[in-house]
Structure 1
C-alpha cells in the first residue's frame, strides 16, 4: 500500500512538472541597455530580442513604460517555440538633458509572466555635443533655415486658433529632424510637422496660435531640431480682441455709437 501511494505521488509530481514546462519561456539576450551619451533631441531606441525556449507559443499582452518619455513597442503576434520576438524601448530625449534610467515591464503568458527591461544613458545638450565634435563633423550638421522669422495675424478674436505657415529649408549636410516646440505663453502648437527634411530640401510647418489674452500680443517661439548650431526662433504677433462683431468693436473703442 505504501509503495502504491509513493508511486501515485511520484506520478502527480511528474505531471505537475511536465505541466509547468508546457509553457512558453521568454529568454532575452539582454535585459538592460546603456546608450552612453545621447545628443539631446535624439529618439534613443533599442530593441530587446528574446527567444521562446519553451514548448508553447508566447503572446505579449502589454508592455508598460515607467514614464511618458519612453514609448514601447513589441511583437504583436504569437511567438512560436524556437522563434524570436522583440520588445522595443524608445526614449525621447528632447528637453531632457542629464542622466536617465527607465524601465519597461513586459506582461505575457510565458512561464515568468512579468519581465522588467531597463535602459539608461546620459543626454547631452547641444553645447555639450558641439564641444565633442571636430570642425569637420560640425560642418556635416543639418541647418534649419526659416523663410521668415515672424508672422502677424493682425486682428483676431480671443478663442480663435489661426494657423501660420512657415517654410523650413535644410541647408546642411544631413537630414533635418524637427523636435520640440516651446513658447513662454504655452499658446502655440504644431498642426503638422514635416518628415525628416533631406539636405537641400524644404518642408512646411503649421503653427497654431491660441492666444486668449486681450491686447497687442507678441510671443516668441523656439523650434528645436538636430541642428547643432542652435535652435530656431520666431515671433507670432496679433491684436487680440474679445469679439470681432460690430457691437464689441464699439465697446472696445469706448465710444457709444447707436446702430440704426
Structure 2
C-alpha cells in the first residue's frame, strides 16, 4: 500500500513539474502609458506590446476596460513562444475634459499571472489645443510615410467606383494605426491591407472614390493616424468626371476604371 501511494505521489509531482515548465509566460514591454495633454475630440490610441517568454503558446481570451470610454482590442490568435502580441487601447476624449486614469485588465493563461492590469492616463484639454511633445515621445512615435501623395484617375463616369492605391510605410518605432480619412465631398472610403503596421512594415492604403459632381475634380483627403508628429497626412485625388455613357446597371463597380480613349 505504501509503495503504491509513493508511486502515485511521484507521478503527481512529475505531472505538476511538467505542466509548470510547459506553460507560457507574458512579459509586458510597458504597463502604463501617459498621453500627456490631448485635445478634446481626439481618439487617444496606444498599443501595448507583450512578449511570450515561456515554452507554450499563450491565449488572451478577454481584455476588459474600466469604463465604456476606453475600447480595447487585442491579439486573438495564440501568442507563440518568443513572439509578440498587442493590446490596443483607444480612449474617446469627446465630452470628457480634465484628467483621466483608466485601467485595462488582461486575462490569459499566463503561468505566473493569469490577470494583468495596464493603465492609460493623461489630461483632456481644449479642442483647439496645440499639443507639445517631448523629443523622446516624438522619437518613439509611429511615423506614416507615403511614396506618392497624389493620384490622377483621368476620365471617370459620374457615380463610378474608382480605387487609388498608395504604398505606406511605418518609419517609426511603435505600431502605426490608420484611424480614418476625411474629405470635403464625403465620397471617399478607405481600407488598409493590414490593421496595423509594425515598425518598418509596408502596406497598401486603398482609397475608393465615387464622384458625384461633373467636370474636373480635385479632392483633398486627410489620412488620420496615431503618428504624433504628423497626425494628419494629406493626399490628393484628381479626376475629369463625365456623364455616364452606359446605363447605370451596366457600369462596372469595384474595379479600376479604364480611361476613355
The normalised TM-score by structure 1 is 0.50
- Work out whether 1:201 is the aligned partner of 2:201: yes
Give, in whole Å, the separation in 1 of the partners of 2:219 and 2:163. 14
Question: Where do 5+ consecutive residues of structure 1 fail to align?
Answer: 1-34, 50-64, 74-88, 102-119, 246-260
Aligned-partner SS, 2:197 = coil
Give, in whole Å, the separation in 1 of the partners of 2:98 and 2:151. 37
Residue pair 2:218, 2:236 contacting (<8 A) in 1 also: yes
Give, in whole Å, the separation in 1 of the partners of 2:45 and 2:214. 38
> What is the deviation of 1:99?
2.3
Match of 1:47 in 2: 65
Question: What is the CA deviation profile of residues 18-56 of structure 1, one whole-angstrom value per residue up to 9, with x for unaligned ones?
Answer: xxxxxxxxxxxxxxxxx985753335896249xxxxxxx
Aligned-partner SS, 2:43 = coil
Closer/same/farther in 2, CA of residues 72 and 149 from structure 1, 3 Å limit: closer
> What is the deviation of 1:137?
2.3
Question: Where do 5+ consecutive residues of structure 2 fail to align?
Answer: 1-33, 47-62, 74-88, 100-120, 247-261
Closer/same/farther in 2, CA of residues 203 and 97 from structure 1, 3 Å limit: farther
Match of 1:162 in 2: 162
> What is the deviation of 1:166?
0.8
Give, in whole Å, the separation in 1 of the partners of 2:237 and 2:159. 16
Give, in whole Å, the separation in 2 of the partners of 1:164 and 1:221. 12
Aligned-partner SS, 1:42 = strand
Count of residue correspondences: 159
Aligned-partner SS, 2:142 = coil
Closer/same/farther in 2, CA of residues 92 and 46 from structure 1, 3 Å limit: farther
> What is the deviation of 1:216?
0.4
Match of 1:140 in 2: 140
> What is the deviation of 1:152?
0.6
> What is the deviation of 1:180?
1.8
Question: What is the CA deviation profile of residues 140-161 of structure 1, one whole-angstrom value per residue up to 9, with x for unaligned ones?
Answer: 1111011100001111110111
Match of 1:241 in 2: 242
The normalised TM-score by structure 2 is 0.50
Match of 1:99 in 2: 97
The structure with the larger Rg is 1
Residue pair 1:158, 1:211 contacting (<8 A) in 2 also: yes
Aligned-partner SS, 2:195 = coil
Give, in whole Å, the separation in 2 of the partners of 1:127 and 1:145. 25
